[in-house]
Structure 1
Amino acid sequence: MRLSVCEFYMFSFISRHRVFAAYLLSLLWLVATIFAFTSVDGRPFTNFWKVLGLIAGVGLVYVLAWTAISRIGCGRIVSLCFQAPSRLQGGRRIALVALVVIYGLVVVIHFSFLGSIPVLEAAFGRSDLAISIIRQNSYFELPWMMRYASDYSLKALGPGLLLLTYYFRSRLFWVVLVIGGIYSVGLFARILPLVLCLPLLVYQLLWRRWLHCAGTCAIMLVMIFSVSQLSSVSIEENDGAATKVERAGWESVSYGLYQRVLIVPGQVMEQWFDYYTDTSSFEHGCAYRILARVMGCEYVHVPSKLYAVYYPDNVRQGMFGSLNAASFMTEYANFGLYGFVLSSLLGGLFFSGVMLIYQGHPLALPMNIPLIVTLMESNFSHSVNSGSGWVFMTLLYLYFIVFNRELGRH
C-alpha cells in the first residue's frame, strides 16, 4: 500500500520530531479528558475549543521556529558535537558509578530524616486521610535542600541512570533498579514506579525489545500494586469505631487509574476555568514567583489556593493538597486567553530548542517523556526544573552521550 505525499511527509515529520509529536499527543489527551468530563457532567464544550486552539498555536510556533533554526544552520552545528557511543570508557564509567552511589545515599538520608519508611507506617493506617497525611509528611517534613535532592533523584537521577545503564549494557542496571524500587515503593505514591520506569519503557518500545519491555511492565505493575495494597484502606463505621476492612484489589486499582487518566485531568481543568471566569479573578502575573517579586505582589501558588477553595474540609483536617493542572492553565490563571498565546509561544519555542539539543538520538524521546508528563499537571518553570528534573536529565545526556569523545581515542 503506497502512501500519499501528504501521508509520507506527516510520518516523516513525526519520526524526526518525535519529542514534539509526543507533546502534541499529550495535549490532545487533555482535550479528550475535557470532552469526557464535560460529556459526563453535562457541561457546554466551551473550554474544549479553547484548549484545541492552544494546540494549534503551539504547532504553528514550533513549525516556524524550527524552520528558522534549519535555515540558519544551527542544527548542523550542534550535530557536529554529536557522538553515538555504545559503551563507556574511563572517567565516564567512574562518573556513572559515583552517581549510582549518590542515588543510594539520597534514599538512605531521606528515610533517615523521616525516622521510618513511610509505606510501612501507612500499612497500619486507620483511614485514607491518615494515610494521605503520612504521604505528604514524607516530603514536607524534609529540609528544603533534601526536598530538592528527593525531587531530582525520583524524577531525573533514578530514571536517567536506569535508562543509561540499560543503554550501555552495564551491570549497574540491577543496582539502580533495586534502589529505585525501594525508594518508589517506600514513599507509596502510585505514580513513582511509573516515573522510574517510563523512560526505559519508552526506549524499549521504540526499539522493539518486546521481551525486555514485558519484564519492565511486570516489575512496574508489581510495584504499583504493592503500593496500592499497602496504603489503601476502606473504612466502615461499626458502633462509632473505624475499622480497617479491605485492601485495594486489582479491580479498584484499575478503576482508580481510569479515573486518574481519563476523568480527573478534565475535571481539574474545568475547576480552574470555573474559578478564573473573568479579568477580576486573574492573578495578573502574581502566580509566577520571579515575576511576583519584580511586581512587588504576593506570590500565589494557584494549585494550593484552588485546593483550599474546592476542598476546605480536607484543609481543616490538616491535609495540604494541590489542585494541579496542565502547565498552560497557569498562564490562563494569570492572563486569561492572552495567557494561552503566551503558552503557545513557550511550548513551541522550548520544544524547538529540545529538538536542537537532542537531534534524532534514540534517547531523545525517552529522556524527555518525564517532562512531557509533568507538563500535564504542573506549571512550565517547575516542570523544567524540579518537577521533572529535565535540566538534570539533559545534563546527563550531554555528558554521557553528546560530548562522549573518549571513544575516538580507542
Structure 2
Amino acid sequence: MTIKPFLKAHTFFSIYNLVFVLLLFGEFYTFGGKHIWPLALCYFSFLIVYLIGFQLLKKSSIPASKFNFQVLVYPLIIVSLSLIGFHLITMGGSPAFESLEMMKTSEVNMHRKEIGIRANSIWRYISSMNIKAILPFTLLLLLITKRKIYWIVFFAGLFYTFSLMQKSHVLSFLMPVLLYSLFTKKWLFAFKYTVSIALIIVGLVFVSNPPLRGGENDLKEAPSNAIKVKEESALQKISSSLVKRVFILPGEMVGNWFEIIPEHKPFLSGTGYQSYCKITHQEYHDYNLELYPVIYPNYAKKGVQGSANAAHFMRGYSNFGNAGLIQSAIFLAIVFLVMNILFKNTGIETKLTLNLFPIFLLSSGSLTTILFSGGWGLVMVLFWIFKKEFDEKYE
C-alpha cells in the first residue's frame, strides 16, 4: 500500500500519530523521556486494538441517511442562530463589550470567569455544542452549497465567539471552513478566515488587557532589583508562546501529571468521573482544576484560577493508573474504528476538514469531553445526516 491509499484508509490514525509524536517531543524536552514507559504502554495498547479492529471491520458499513438535505438545512440554521440570541439575552448582553469599561486586570479576569454563571448552567453545555459543532458545521454546509444566508451565520458567529471572551471559540467556529478553503485552494476565502481569526484574537487581547487601554495590571509582580535584560518584542513573545503552546506544553503537562500522581496526589479510583460519582454518591474530583495550583503555585497565590488540561489518556491514568492508560487507549481505538466506517469512501479532504482540529485537541483534553460537550460526536451525526450533500458538492 502506497502512502496516499494508506492515508485515506487510516486518516485518523495518521493524524493521531502526529499528535502523539508532539506529546513525546514535549515530554522529552521537559523531562528527558522520564515517562516513556507509561506512554509506550498507552500507545501500543492503542496500536494493537486499532490494527486488529481494522482487519475485522474493514468490510463493515453504516446505512446511509435518508434525510432530505433541503428540508433539514433551514432548521439547522434557525437552531444555530436562535441559540446565539437566547444565550446573549439570558446573559444580559455581550461580556466582551462590557469588559471595555473595566480598567483593572483583576476585574476583567473575574468578569471573564463569571461568564459561565451569568446564565443557567445548562447554557454552558448548549453554548459549547453550538460553537464547536452546530455553528461550524452549518457554516461549512452553507459555504459548499453557496447559499447567501451563509453571511448571516458568519457574522453572527464572529460576534458570538468574540462576546464570550475565549480565543479558542473562534478557532472552533472557523477551523472547518478554513481547512476546507485550504484543501480546495480557495485562497481568498482562506485569507478571509485567517484575518477574521486574527482580528478576533487581537480584539480579545485588547479587551482582556486594560493596560493596553490605559488601565492597570494589578496582578503583576512588584518590581525587583534584578539586573534588567533586553526584553523580547511583542512579536517574539507571541511567537515563542505559540511554539511552546503547540510543541512543548502538551507533553510537558503530561509529564507534570505523571510527576504528581500518585506521588503527591492519589489515584482517584473512579471519582474523577462525574457519572460514576453520581451513581455511587461520592465526591467528584476534577484534577484539571486541582492540579493547577500544584503546577502553577505562583499564579495560585495571586488568586488566579486555571485548568491544567492534559492529554486524553491522563484522565484514565489519574483514576486507575496503568490500567487507565490501557482503557483510554482502547476507547480511542474503538472511536477511530467507528469513524473509519462512517467516513468510508469519503475523500481525505472531508475527513481532515471535520476531524483534524478535534483530533489535535486530544493532546490537551479528555476524549469524552471532546466527543460530547466538545461537539465532536454531534459533528459526526450531522455528517452522517448530510453525507450525500458532502459527496455531491465537496468531492
TM-score (norm 2): 0.84
Which amino acid is 1:26 matched to?
V
- Matched with 1:350 is 335
Shift of 1:197: 1.2
Using the TM superposition, name which of 343-352 and 109-118 deviates more. Answer: 109-118
Match of 1:299, SS? coil
- Matched with 1:25 is 18
- Matched with 1:202 is 179
CA 374–236 in structure 1, closer or farther in 2 if over 3 Å, else same = closer
- Matched with 1:67 is 55
Aligned length: 376
Say if 2:261 and 2:267, in contact at 8 Å, map to a contact too: yes
Quick check: 1:152 aligned with 2:152? no
Shift of 1:311: 4.7
CA 33–340 in structure 1, closer or farther in 2 if over 3 Å, else same = same
Aligned match for 2:380, one of 394, 401, 406? 394
CA 97–376 in structure 1, closer or farther in 2 if over 3 Å, else same = same
Shift of 1:207: 3.1
The whole-number CA distance in structure 1 between the counterparts of 2:264 and 2:337 is 32
Identity across the alignment (%):
23
- Matched with 1:382 is 369
CA 221–69 in structure 1, closer or farther in 2 if over 3 Å, else same = same
1:272-306 C-alpha deviation (Å, 9 max, x unpaired) = 11210359811112212223344453222121221
Shift of 1:124: 3.7
Match of 1:74, SS? coil
- Matched with 1:368 is 355
Say if 1:82 and 1:403, in contact at 8 Å, map to a contact too: no
Say if 2:310 and 2:364, in contact at 8 Å, map to a contact too: yes
User: Which ranges in structure 1 are unaligned for 5 or more consecutive residues?
Assistant: 1-7, 84-89, 242-247
Shift of 1:218: 2.2
Shift of 1:196: 1.0
User: Which ranges in structure 2 are unaligned for 5 or more consecutive residues?
Assistant: 223-232
Aligned match for 1:281, one of 259, 262, 266? 266
1:13-68 C-alpha deviation (Å, 9 max, x unpaired) = 112221222122222222222233x1xxxx34212453244233322221111111
Shift of 1:93: 2.9
Shift of 1:259: 3.1
Shift of 1:360: 3.5
TM-score (norm 1): 0.81
CA 402–58 in structure 1, closer or farther in 2 if over 3 Å, else same = farther
The whole-number CA distance in structure 2 between the counterparts of 1:257 and 1:137 is 27
CA 53–125 in structure 1, closer or farther in 2 if over 3 Å, else same = farther
Say if 1:155 and 1:370, in contact at 8 Å, map to a contact too: no
Using the TM superposition, name which of 145-154 and 19-28 deviates more. Answer: 19-28
Shift of 1:356: 0.9
Aligned match for 1:302, one of 283, 287, 291? 287
Say if 1:31 and 1:52, in contact at 8 Å, map to a contact too: no
Say if 1:157 and 1:393, in contact at 8 Å, map to a contact too: yes
The whole-number CA distance in structure 2 between the counterparts of 1:22 and 1:406 is 25
Shift of 1:325: 1.0
CA 188–24 in structure 1, closer or farther in 2 if over 3 Å, else same = same
Give the number of the structure with larger relative contact order, counting CA–CA contacts within 8 Å between residues 6 or more apart.
2
Say if 2:22 and 2:251, in contact at 8 Å, map to a contact too: no
Q: CA RMSD in A?
A: 3.2
Quick check: 1:186 aligned with 2:167? no
CA 179–379 in structure 1, closer or farther in 2 if over 3 Å, else same = same
- Matched with 1:245 is none
Aligned match for 2:246, one of 261, 264, 268? 261
Using the TM superposition, name which of 160-169 and 394-403 deviates more. Answer: 394-403
The whole-number CA distance in structure 2 between the counterparts of 1:272 and 1:191 is 23
- Matched with 1:161 is 138
The whole-number CA distance in structure 2 between the counterparts of 1:396 and 1:195 is 16
Say if 1:81 and 1:403, in contact at 8 Å, map to a contact too: no
- Matched with 2:228 is none
Match of 2:386, SS? helix
The whole-number CA distance in structure 1 between the counterparts of 2:9 and 2:391 is 25
CA 193–115 in structure 1, closer or farther in 2 if over 3 Å, else same = same
The whole-number CA distance in structure 2 between the counterparts of 1:82 and 1:25 is 32
Q: 1:291-330 counterparts in 2 under 5 A?
A: 291-311=276-296, 320-330=305-315
- Matched with 1:5 is none
CA 331–268 in structure 1, closer or farther in 2 if over 3 Å, else same = same
Shift of 1:114: 2.2
Quick check: 1:57 aligned with 2:57? no
Shift of 1:10: 4.0
